[in-house]
């Protein structure tokens, strides 16, 4: 399943109402997508209205939000026809990675495809190759959930095309993806600002690493300080979460996608991350034996404690 030929970014507009509607009933009414050829960089487009089973007139809310009118749907094809056309447009389903911005588009696809008797194996082929890019972007760059427009703005870009038009939404999601892929340095600088430095990130790589080094050492202290060799289990349970908070900030430093970070900083980030994993492991072990106290191996604390004397 390794060789991908193309990436497809897709987005649904759905029925919606301001007076409440179960997600189950929010049928797809428009499918937009862009296809990015990995070899040539060529981009092709897909945009089709979908006639929902629910034939009631669209709510004012839905019309305002999506810009879709009842007349757009009257002559539209049903889900099955549109989705089959989508699959033809995609070409090789297996050679494709699928992306959307937020998990709701895949949920929509699964619900409507099942309802309209699209073969289960087709759905699972797509699901297997699917990535919620908003989640990846959150983990690697932005920390919190952001909208497509906000994500673009982080790179100094503007949304192109109509908002709430699924083809343009998909196209702009692709643009974010390409920034993310091709600009690892800029992405890591944004990540630093969002995850670690609340204020501006220094311009100079040396200064960044110095500042990062300070933070790492500070947090290494913070994490090891409260731990003595023997600790009560219930206290450990209490500090697990705050320690996780501190440590997970550095996962992207450890990953070092941009190569921006010094060997030393990556090493310390690694110490912090493995310290947290060891902590969890030790906790689990002691928990199995219903132990009331917990004993940490010295090797676990050593790498972090040493930092204090540098």
Q: Which residues bind DNA (CB under 7 A)?
A: 11-14, 16-23, 26, 61-62, 65-66, 101-102, 104, 134, 144-148, 150, 164, 166, 169, 234-235, 237-238
Q: How far is the CB of 142 from DNA (least distance, A)?
A: 9
| 236-262 exposure pattern, b = at least 16 Cβ within 10 A, e = fewer | beeeeeebeebbebbebbbbbbbebbb
Q: How far is the CB of 293 from DNA (least distance, A)?
A: 12
Q: How far is the CB of 236 from DNA (least distance, A)?
A: 8
Cα–Cα distances in angstroms (integers) from residue 36 to residues 95, 129, 174, 199, 304, in the given order: 12, 15, 8, 36, 45
Q: Which is nearer to DNA, 13 or 219 (CB)?
A: 13
Can you say whether the dihedral through the CA atoms of 26, 28, 30, 33 is positive or negative?
positive
Q: Which is nearer to DNA, 107 or 258 (CB)?
A: 107
Q: How far is the CB of 186 from DNA (least distance, A)?
A: 20
DSSP H stretches of helix in the chain: 60-66, 70-74, 79-90, 104-115, 120-128, 133-137, 148-154, 166-182, 184-195, 205-224, 233-248, 251-255, 263-288, 298-307
Q: How far is the CB of 104 from DNA (least distance, A)?
A: 6
What's the burial of 102, exposed, middle or buried (CB within 10 Å: 0-12/13-18/19+)? middle
d(CA 20, CA 26): 10
Please give the DSSP secondary-structure letter assigned to residue 138.
I
Q: Which is nearer to DNA, 155 or 267 (CB)?
A: 155
Q: Which is nearer to DNA, 11 or 112 (CB)?
A: 11
Q: How far is the CB of 235 from DNA (least distance, A)?
A: 6
**101 close to 134: Cβ distance less than 8 angstroms:** yes
Q: Which is nearer to DNA, 50 or 268 (CB)?
A: 50
Q: How far is the CB of 179 from DNA (least distance, A)?
A: 16
List of residues 6+ apart from 64 with CB closer than 8 A: none
User: What is the DSSP secondary-structure string of 40-104?
Assistant: T--EEEEEEEB--S--SPPPHHHHHHH---HHHHHT-B-HHHHHHHHHHHH--GGGEEEEESSTH
Q: How far is the CB of 191 from DNA (least distance, A)?
A: 16
d(CA 298, CA 121): 51
Q: Which is nearer to DNA, 92 or 242 (CB)?
A: 242
């Amino acid at each position: 399943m390794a060789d991908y030929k193309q990436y497809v970014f897709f987005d649904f507009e759905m029925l919606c109402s301001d007076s409440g509607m179960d997600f189950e009933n929010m049928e797809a009414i428009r499918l937009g997508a862009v296809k990015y050829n990995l070899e040539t960089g060529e981009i092709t487009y897909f945009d089709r209205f979908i006639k929902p089973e629910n034939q009631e007139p669209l709510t004012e809310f839905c019309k305002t939000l999506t810009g879709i009118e009842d007349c757009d749907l009257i002559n539209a094809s049903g889900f099955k026809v549109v989705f089959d056309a989508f699959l033809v447009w995609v070409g090789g389903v297996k050679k494709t990675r699928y992306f959307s911005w937020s998990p709701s588009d895949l949920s929509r696809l699964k619900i409507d495809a099942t309802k309209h008797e699209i073969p289960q194996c087709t759905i699972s082929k797509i699901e297997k190759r699917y990535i919620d890019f908003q989640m990846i972007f959150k983990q690697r760059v932005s920390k919190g959930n952001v909208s497509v427009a906000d994500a673009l703005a982080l790179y100094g870009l503007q949304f192109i095309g109509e908002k709430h038009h699924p083809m343009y939404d998909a196209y702009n999601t692709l643009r974010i993806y390409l920034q993310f892929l091709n600009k690892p340095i800029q992405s890591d600088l944004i990540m630093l600002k969002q995850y670690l430095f609340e204020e501006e990130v220094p311009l100079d790589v040396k200064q960044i690493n110095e500042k990062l080094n300070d933070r790492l050492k500070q947090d290494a202290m913070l994490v090891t300080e409260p731990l003595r060799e023997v600790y009560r289990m219930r206290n450990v349970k209490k500090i697990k979460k705050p320690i996780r908070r501190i440590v997970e900030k550095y996962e992207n430093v450890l990953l070092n996608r941009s190569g921006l970070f010094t060997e030393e900083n990556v090493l310390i980030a690694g110490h912090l991350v493995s310290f947290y994993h060891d902590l969890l492991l030790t906790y689990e072990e002691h928990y199995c034996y219903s132990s009331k106290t917990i004993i940490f191996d010295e090797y676990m604390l050593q790498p972090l404690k040493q930092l204090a004397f540098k």
